[in-house]
Amino acid sequence: MDVVENSVEDEVRALEALGNHTSFDVLDGSRLRCSACRRVVPCAEVPLLEVRRVEGPSDPAEMAAVLALRCPRCSAHGTLALGFGPCASAEEQDAFERVVIRDAEPA
């Protein structure tokens, strides 16, 4: 996962330019909602396509990631911006661990 100098908004726009036109929302219970089909899916079922890490401009502890994901129900490609690390909400940290860290672990 590379750290980039751009803002979260810059990274979302860049991923949208690559065809990731929908978005995902983090829900409690390790779930995400696809904005294209409105279906709620477990984080563990959502394929990760790309990760772009962004740090806060004045505080590197303000870590965020912009993810490119594919909905396992409707196959829409979209983005999810979320915090991780000490500044993240419990739901964001859980989603990060279940999607990004799960994907990085060897099978």
Q: What is the pLDDT of residues 59-107, one digit of tens each?
A: 666 689 999 999 999 999 999 999 888 888 999 999 999 998 776 655 5
Name the maximum alpha-carbon separation found in the chain: 39
Lowest mean pLDDT among 13-17, 37-41, 58-62, 76-80: 58-62
For 11, 45, 64, 92, the CA distances from 4, given in Å and listed in that order, are: 9, 27, 11, 20
Size of the chain in residues? 107
pTM for the whole structure = 0.86
Give the pLDDT confidence score for residue 84 in this predicted structure: 85
Question: What are the b/e assignments for 9-37, b being 16+ CB within 10 Å?
Answer: eebbebbbeeebebbbebeeeebbebebe
